[in-house]
Amino acid sequence: MLAILRDLLRYNVEFRIGVALVGFVVVLSALSAVSPYPPQDVYVVPPDVPPSLSYWLGTTSRGQDVFWQLTFAIRNTLLFGCTVALISRMLALMIGLLSGYKGGWIDRALMSVNDTFIVIPLLPILVLFYFVMRDSMSWLMLALIMACLGWAYDARLIRSVAMSLKTREFTQSSVFSGMSTREILVQEHLPYVMPIVFSTTMNNMIWSIGLEVTLAVLGFTDINTPTIGGMIYWANQHTAMVAGVWWWIAFPTAAVIMTFIGLFLLAVSMNEYIDPRSRLGRIGGVAT
Amino acid sequence: MSAALLEVSHVGKIFTRGGLFSSRRIVAVDDVSFQIDAARPEIFTVIGESGSGKTTLSRMILNIERPTSGALSVDGLDLTTVRTNAGRMAFMHKVQPIFQNPFEAFNPLKQLDRYLFMTRRRFHAEADQATIEVAVDEALRNVGLSLKEVRRRYPHELSGGQLQRVAIARALLSNPKLIVADEPVSMVDASLRMSIVNLFKALRDDLGLSIIYVTHDLATAYYISDRIIIMQKGKVVESGDARAVLNAPQHPYSRQLRAAVLLPGVAAAGGPVSQPANVFREFNASE
Amino acid sequence: MSVEAAAPADTRPPDRSGPILSVTDLRAHFRTTHFGVNRYVRAVDGISFDVKRGEIYGLAGESSSGKTTLVKTIAGAIKPPLEVVGGTIDFAFLPGYGGLHRAPPTEVARIRWRHLSYIMQGSMNVLNPVRRLRQSFVDFARPHIAGTAKEFETAVIGHLARVRLEPSVLAAYPHELSGGMRQRATIALATICRPDFIIADEPTTALDVVVQKDVLGMIHGIQREIGSSVLFVTHDMGVHAHIADRLGIMYAGRLVEEATTPEIFKNPLHPYTRHLISSLPRIGDDVPRGGLEGAPPSLADPPPGCRFHPRCPLAMEICSRRVPDMIETKPAHRVACFAVNGSTEP
**pLDDT at A46 (0 to 100):** 84
Average pLDDT value for residue range B212-222 = 90
CATH superfamily of A2-283: MetI-like (1.10.3720.10)
Confidence grade of residue C15 (pLDDT, cut at 50, 70, 90): low
Of B92, B109, B122, the CB nearest to A191: B109
Q: Which helix (H) or strand (E) holds B282?
A: helix B281-286
Query: What's the mean pLDDT in A206-226?
Result: 82
pLDDT score for C254: 92
Q: What is the pLDDT of residue C128?
A: 85
Domains observed in chain B:
42-70+81-257 (3.40.50.300)
pLDDT at B271: 36
- The pLDDT > 90 percentage for chain A reads 15
Angle (CA) A239-A242-A246 rounded to 5° is 85
**Residue B210's pLDDT is what?**
94
Does B286 have pLDDT greater than 60? no
Q: Which carries the bigger pLDDT value, residue B25 or residue C199?
A: C199
Q: Is the pLDDT of residue C14 over 60?
A: no
C337 to chain B, closest Cα gap in Å = 16
A10 touches chain C (CB under 8 A): yes
Residues of B in contact with C236 (CB under 8 A): 190, 262
B18 strand-pairing partners: B23
pTM for this structure? Answer: 0.78
Q: Grade residue B267 by pLDDT with cuts at 50, 70 and 90.
A: very low
- The residue with greater pLDDT, A133 or A22, is A22
Adjacency order of strands within the sheet including B95-98:
B95-98, B178-182, B210-215, B43-48, B227-232, B235-241
| Top-confidence residue, B59 or C281 | B59
Residue A70 in contact with residue A252, Cβ under 8 Å? Answer: yes
Closest CA to A12 of A286, A225, A288, A274: A274
Chain B CB within 8 Å of residue A181 CB = no
For residues C27 and A116, what is the distance between their CA atoms, to the nearest angstrom? Answer: 59
* For residue B279, pLDDT beyond 70: no
What are the φ and ψ backbone dihedral angles of A21, each rounded to 5 degrees? Answer: -65, -50
How high is the pLDDT of residue B285?
36
Nearest CA in chain C to A284: C39
**Residue C285 neighbours by CB under 8 Å, 6+ apart:** B267, B272
| B50 interaction partners in chain C (CB closer than 8 Å) | 179, 208
Give tens-digit pLDDT for A220-278: 777 778 888 888 888 888 888 888 888 888 888 899 899 999 988 888 887 777 676 76
Q: Tell me which chain B residues have a C-beta less than 8 angstroms from the C-beta of C235.
A: 189-190
Residue B173 has pLDDT above 60, yes or no: yes
pLDDT of residue B239: 93
pLDDT of residue C231: 94
Show which of residues 239-278 on chain A sit within 8 Å of chain C, judged by CB atoms: 273, 278
Query: Partners of B48 in the beta sheet?
Result: B231
Q: Please give the Cα distance from C36 to A282 (Å, whole number).
A: 9
Residue B284: the pLDDT is 34
Q: How far apart are CA A287 and CA C143, in angstroms?
A: 37
Q: Evaluate if residue C159 carries a pLDDT over 80.
A: yes
Q: Does the distance separating the beta carbons of A278 and C36 come in below 8 Å?
A: no
Neighbouring chains of A at 3+ CB pairs within 8 Å?
A: B, C
Predicted pLDDT of residue C85: 85
How do beta strands B227-232 and B235-241 pair?
antiparallel
pLDDT tens sequence across A26-78: 998 888 888 888 878 888 888 888 888 888 888 888 888 888 888 888 898 88
Amino acid identity of A59? Answer: T
Compute the average pLDDT of residues A202-211. 85
Provide the chain C residues 57-86 that lie in CB contact (below 8 A) with chain B.
62-64
Instruction: Identify the pLDDT of residue B177.
Output: 93
How much is the pLDDT for C80? Answer: 78
pLDDT grade, residue C7 (50/70/90)?
Answer: very low
Residues 6+ apart with CB under 8 A from A163: A100, A101, A103
Whether the pLDDT of residue A284 is over 60: the answer is no
Say whether A282 and C34 touch across the interface (CB within 8 A): yes
Res. C12: pLDDT tops 50: no
Residue B280 has pLDDT above 60, yes or no: no
Q: Tally B–C CB contacts below 8 A.
A: 150
What SS3 string covers chain C? Answer: CCCCCCCCCCCCCCCCCCCCEEEEEEEEEEEEEECCEEEEEEEEEEEEEEECCCCEEEEECCCCCCHHHHHHHHHCCCCCCEEEEEEEEEECCECCCCCHHHCCHHHHHHHECCCEEEECCCHHHCCCCCCCHHHHHHHHHHHHCCCCHHHHHHHHHHHHHHCCCCHHHHHCCHHHCCHHHHHHHHHHHHHCCCCCEEEEECCCCCCCHHHHHHHHHHHHHHHHHHCCEEEEEECCHHHHHHHCCEEEEEECCEEEEEEEHHHHHHCCCCHHHHHHHHCCCCCCCCCCCCCCCCCCCCCCCCCCCCCCHHHCCCCCHHHHCCCCCCEEEECCEEECCHHHHCCCCC
Q: Does residue B270 contact residue C266 with C-beta atoms inside 8 Å?
A: yes
The least confident of A20-34, A47-61, A101-115, C39-53 is A47-61
**For C194-252, what is each residue's pLDDT tens digit?**
898 999 988 888 788 888 888 888 888 888 888 899 999 998 888 998 899 999 999 98
User: How far, in Å, CA of B271 to CA of C266, rounded?
Assistant: 8
Alpha helices in A169-245 (DSSP H): 169-176, 181-183, 190-218, 228-237, 240-243
Strands C246-251 vs C254-260: parallel, antiparallel or unpaired: antiparallel
**Considering only CB atoms, which chain A residues are within 8 Å of B155?**
285
3-state DSSP helix/strand/coil % of chain B, to nearest 5: 45, 25, 30
Q: What are phi and psi of B271, to 5 degrees?
A: 80, 165
Residue A101 in contact with partner chain C when CB distance is under 8 A: no
DSSP state for residue A50 in the 8-state scheme: P
| Sheet strands (E) in A83-218 | none
CB atoms within 10 A of CB B155: 22
pLDDT value at residue C260: 93
In chain A, where are the structural domains located?
A: 2-283
